[in-house]
Amino acid sequence: MSQADLAVVDTAAVRRPSPLWTFGLLRSELVTTFRRWRTLALLGVLAAVPILVGISVRIETRGGGQTGRGGGEGPAFIAQVTNNGLFLVFTALAATLPFFLPMAVGVVAGDAVAGEADAGTLRYLLVAPAGRTRLLLAKYTTTMAFCLVATLVVAASALAVGALLFPLGDLTTISGTRISFADGLGRALLIALVVAVSLAGVAALGLFVSTLTSSGIAAMATTVGLLITVQILDQIPQLHALQPYFFSHYWLSFADLVRDPVYWDDLVKNLELQALYTAVFGSAAWARFTTRDITA
Amino acid sequence: MAPYESDDSTEAAQAGEELRDDLRAERRRKAARYVVPVAVVGVAAATIGLVPALADSGDPDLPKITAQQLIDKIAKSDVQQLSGTVKISTDLGLPDLGGLESSLLSGATQGRGDGSSADPAGKLTELASGTHTLRVAVDGPEKQKVSVLESGAEYSLIHNGTDVWGYDSKSDEVYHSTVADSGKAEQRETPATPKDFADEVLKSVDDTTSVTVDGTAQVAGRDAYRLVIKPKQSGTTVGAISIAVDAKTGTPLKFTLTPSSGGAAVIDAGYTQVSFAKPTASTFDFTPPKGAKVTEGDKADKADKADKADKTGKNDKVGRADRGGKASGAPGHGSAKDLDKSGFTVLGKGWNSIAVLDTGSKGGLPTGSASGGGVLSGFLGSLGDSVSGKFGKGTVFSTRLINALMTDDGKVYVGAVDKAALVKAANAG
C-alpha cells in the first residue's frame, strides 16, 4: 500500500466514521454501563425479588395450605405459583414492573448524559468524531439493552427459583385451558420481551431529563419522581380520561399473554403508547442535546 | 479623520449586525429542532382524534325493514356457533362501594357455608357495576363459555355437556356442578351478552310499548339494524332501549338502555368483535389445575336456589337491582315464573310492574345474617331516603334505573319505576 493510499483512507476515516465506529461507540457504552457497580447492584436487587417471593410462597404453603385465599391480595398470578413454578416468572415480573424495574431503568437513563456531564467526561466523548446524534442513539440503545437484561435477569432468576421450589409441567392458563410446558416457556419469554419494551417510554423520558441538566443525581431523581407521580395519578379515578395516555397505564397488559386465546387489544395499545413516548421524548432529547452548549 | 471614523463605525456596526444575524439564525435553527417533538405530539393527537372518525364509514345502506319483521328475524335467528368479545358498562348510579360491596357479597355466600370465590352466582353479580370485558363462545346448547377478563386474572364459566365449571384464576379456585338435564337448567343468572338482554326485553313487547326501526349502524364491523323500544307508560324510569341487530344473522349485537332521567346509558353491552365460526372444541375443555381448591356446588346449588335469590335480594343491592332489572324487562310470562319461584309477586303490568317480596322480618331493614346484621342495616339505612304513607314507614333506595322501597313491616317493592309509583303501590297493597 502506498503512502497516497493511506492518506486517502485516513481522511475518509476522519470525515465519515465507518459503521464499525458506531459499534465501537456502542460497545464502549455497553461495557461502561454494565461494568458499573451501581448497575450490577441494581441487577442483583432485581434478581433477589423472585427469590424472596418464591421462598415466602413456599413457606406459607408448606403446611398444604394455599396462598391468595380470598383472592385479590398480592401481585397477579401468585395463587398459581404453587401449581406451576413457571407462574413465578409472571408473578415476579408483575411484582417488579410497577416499581423496581422502571426505577432501575430511570437510574440508568437519567445518568446517561447528565452523569457524563457531571463527571466532566461529556466533552471528551464529543471530541471524538462520533457526533451528538450518534452518541445519543448509543446512549438510548444502551439503556434499552439494560431494560432487556434487567427483565431477563428477573425472569431467569424466577424460573430458577420456580423450578427448584415448585413443580413444573403443563400449565393451566388463567382462562382455564391447558398448554404444554414448552408453550408456556415460549410465552414467558415473550412476556419478558413485552415487559422490556414496556420500559421504552420510561427510558426515553429519562434520557430527555438527562439532557436537561448537568447533574446526574438530579436527572435520576426527576425520572424516578415522575415515575412515582404518574403511578399515583394512574390510581385516581377522577383522571380516567387522561389515564390511557400514561406510560404505565397498560404495563400489566402483559398478563393478557397468559390468556387463551391471547387478548391482544391492550397489548397493542401498550406497544403503541411506548412507541409514542419514545418518539416524543427521544426527539425532544435529540433537539436538546444537539443544540445545547456543552460546558462540562 | 472623520470620514474614516464614520467608515469604521459603519463597518463595525455592519459586522455586529452580521454577527447578530448569524446568532439569530443559529438560534432559529436550534429552535427549529424542537419542532420535531412538537410535531410528533401533534401527529399523534390528530391520529387519536381523527382515526375513529374516519374509520366510522357512516351508517350502512340496508334494505328497509319493519319493526315486526326485525323482531321475527331475531326470533328466527338460529345462531348456534359464535365467539366474540363483549364490552359491558353498567352505570346504575349506585354509590361506589368498592371492595365493600364484594365483601358484603362474600359475607353473604360465606354465611351459606361455601366460600368459594369461583361460585358463579357471586362472581357474575359483579358485572352489575362498572365496565367489564367479556369473552363469550357458544357451540350449540351443550357448550358455552363466558370469561370475565380482569387485570392479570380471569374468571371463566364453562358449560360443557353435563358439567358446569367456574374457574377463578385470581384465587385459583374451582367451582363445579353438574346439570341433570343438560342444557336449560343452568342458565346464567346474570344476563351478559347483548342477546341475553334483548331476549328479556323482547318478551315484554306488548301494547304498552312502542317499537320502531331507527336506521342502521355498524357494530363490531358488521352491518346492523337499530331497533328502538320505548315504553308508552309514564312513571317508569326506562327511557329507551336500543338494540343493534345483525342484518345477516339476526343476532343482537349491541344493547343500550337509557334512563328516562337522561344522561349516560344505564346498561351498554355490545360486541367489540364477533365471529360466527365454530369455536375450537378445546375452548370448552376444562380440567381443574393441580392444587386448585375445588368446590362441588351441585347439591347446595339446587337446594339453595330460592334461598340464594332471597339472600341476594336481602344483602346485596346490586344483586337486587339486577334481578329487578330482569323483572322490569320481562314482566310477561317468562320471568314471572322465576319470580314466583323465589317468593316474589308482581303488581301492575308492562313497564310499571313492581315486584313485591315479603321478607317477613319485622323491624325495617332485614338483617342478612345474625352476625353483623346491625352494622349492615345501619349502613344500608344511610344509603336510602325514608318515606312514609298509608302503609307506614319505609326506606327508598334509588338507582338510576331501579328503585326499591323497604317498608318497616318487612315488605320490599322493587321496580323500574319512580319513587311515587312505589309509594302508590305500597299504599294500595
How much is the ipTM here?
0.77
Residues B266, B92 contacting (CB under 8 angstroms):
yes
Strand order in the sheet with B354-358: B344-347, B354-358, B411-415, B403-407, B392-398, B385-389
Question: A3 CA to chain B: closest CA distance, Å?
Answer: 40
- Chain A residues in contact with B156 (beta carbon < 8 A): 175-176
Q: Which residues of chain B have pLDDT under 50?
A: 1-3, 5, 97-114, 182-189, 300-341, 363-373
Tell me which chain B residue has its CA closest to the CA of residue A276: B44
pLDDT band for position A63 (cuts 50, 70, 90) = low
Q: Which residues of A touch B (CB under 8 A)?
A: 66, 68-72, 75-77, 79-80, 82-84, 94, 167, 171-172, 174-178, 252, 255-256, 259, 263, 265, 276, 279-281, 283-284, 286-288, 290-291
Task: Kindly report whether the peptide bond that precedes residue B52 is cis, defined as omega within 30 degrees of 0.
Answer: no
- Chain A residues in contact with B151 (beta carbon < 8 A): 76, 252, 255
Query: In the predicted model, is pLDDT for residue A13 greater than 60?
Result: no
Residues A255, B151 contacting (CB under 8 angstroms):
yes
Q: Which residues of B touch A (CB under 8 A)?
A: 30, 33-34, 36-37, 40-41, 44, 85, 106, 117, 133, 135, 147, 149, 151-154, 156, 158, 165, 167-173, 282-283, 285-287, 289-293
Q: What is the DSSP letter of B236?
A: B
- Average pLDDT over chain A reads 86
With residue B256 as reference, give the H or E element that holds it: strand B252-259
Tell me which chain B residue has its CA closest to the CA of residue A174: B169
Which CATH architecture fits B67-200+260-296?
Answer: Clam (2.50)
- Annotated domain spans of chain A: 17-291
Residue with cell 319505576: B417
Q: Say which residues have a Cβ less than 8 Å from residue A132's Cβ, sequence separation at least 6.
A: A126, A289, A290
Degrees to nearest 5, angle at CA B151 with B146 and B155? 25
- Mutation pick from A177, A266, A274 vs chain B, by most beta carbons of B within 10 Å, is A177
User: How many whole angstroms separate alpha carbon B375 and alpha carbon B377?
Assistant: 6
Cβ-defined contact of B117 to A70 (cutoff 8 Å)? yes
> What separation in angstroms does the CA of B429 have from each of A14, A151, B390, B426?
98, 67, 10, 5
Cβ-defined contact of A80 to B36 (cutoff 8 Å)? no
Residues B243, B201 contacting (CB under 8 angstroms):
yes
Pairing of strands B173-178, B293-296: parallel
- Mutation pick from A77, A90, A133, A172 vs chain B, by most beta carbons of B within 10 Å, is A172
Q: What is the phi/psi pair of residue B400, to 5°?
A: -75, -15
Cβ-defined contact of A287 to B33 (cutoff 8 Å)? yes
- Chain A residues in contact with B33 (beta carbon < 8 A): 286-287, 290-291
User: How many whole angstroms separate alpha carbon B283 and alpha carbon B277?
Assistant: 13
Q: Give the residue with greater pLDDT, A66 vs A107.
A: A107
Residue with cell 336456589: B305
Q: Say which residues have a Cβ less than 8 Å from residue B345's Cβ, sequence separation at least 6.
A: B339, B355, B356, B357
- Chain A residues in contact with B105 (beta carbon < 8 A): none
* pTM beyond 0.90: no
User: How many whole angstroms separate alpha carbon A187 and alpha carbon A189?
Assistant: 5
Q: Of A68, A280, A284, which has the smallest distance from its Cβ to B172's Cβ?
A: A68
Q: Of B133, B169, B287, which has the smallest distance from its Cβ to A174's Cβ?
A: B169
pLDDT in tens, A95-125: 999 899 999 999 999 999 998 888 888 888 8
Of chain A, the percentage scoring pLDDT greater than 90 comes to 55
- Residue B57 CB burial class (10 angstroms; 0-12, 13-18, ≥19): exposed
- Chain B residues in contact with A256 (beta carbon < 8 A): 149
Tell me which chain A residue has its CA closest to the CA of residue B41: A280
pLDDT band for position A202 (cuts 50, 70, 90) = very high
Q: How far is CA B395 from the centre of its chain?
A: 26
- Of A183, B105, B154, the closest CA to residue B145 belongs to B154
> How high is the pLDDT of residue A25?
86
User: How many whole angstroms separate alpha carbon B39 and alpha carbon B363?
Assistant: 67
> How high is the pLDDT of residue A103?
94
pLDDT in tens, A227-256: 999 999 999 988 888 899 999 999 989 989
C-alpha cell at B114: 361455601
Residue with cell 415476579: A92
- Of A170, A175, A72, the closest CA to residue B103 belongs to A72
- Chain B residues in contact with A174 (beta carbon < 8 A): 152-154, 169
- Chain A residues in contact with B149 (beta carbon < 8 A): 256, 259, 263
Q: Say which residues have a Cβ less than 8 Å from residue B239's Cβ, sequence separation at least 6.
A: B230, B257, B258, B259, B260, B261, B262
Cβ-defined contact of B36 to A287 (cutoff 8 Å)? yes
Q: How far is CA A113 from the centre of its chain?
A: 18
pLDDT in tens, A166-181: 888 888 888 888 888 9
User: How many whole angstroms separate alpha carbon B326 and alpha carbon B281?
Assistant: 32
Residues B370, B385 contacting (CB under 8 angstroms):
no
Cβ-defined contact of A79 to B170 (cutoff 8 Å)? yes
Strand partners, B219: B222
- Of B239, B213, B207, the closest CA to residue B226 belongs to B213
pLDDT in tens, A136-152: 999 999 999 999 999 99
Q: Give the residue with greater pLDDT, A81 vs A17.
A: A81
Q: Say which residues have a Cβ less than 8 Å from residue B351's Cβ, sequence separation at least 6.
A: B204, B208, B209, B231, B233, B236, B238, B328, B331, B416, B417
Strand partners, B228: B212, B242
User: How many whole angstroms separate alpha carbon B137 and alpha carbon B75?
Assistant: 20
User: How many whole angstroms separate alpha carbon B247 and alpha carbon B241?
Assistant: 18
> How high is the pLDDT of residue B338?
41
Q: What is the DSSP letter of B204?
A: T
User: How many whole angstroms separate alpha carbon A79 and alpha carbon B133?
Assistant: 22
User: How many whole angstroms separate alpha carbon A254 and alpha carbon A178?
Assistant: 19
- Chain A residues in contact with B131 (beta carbon < 8 A): none
> How high is the pLDDT of residue B110?
41
- Of B105, B142, B144, the closest CA to residue B125 belongs to B105
Cβ-defined contact of B169 to A69 (cutoff 8 Å)? no
DSSP A84-149: -TTHHHHHHHHHHTTTHHHHHHHHHHHHHHHHHHHHT-HHHHHHSTT-HHHHHHHHHHHHHHHHHH
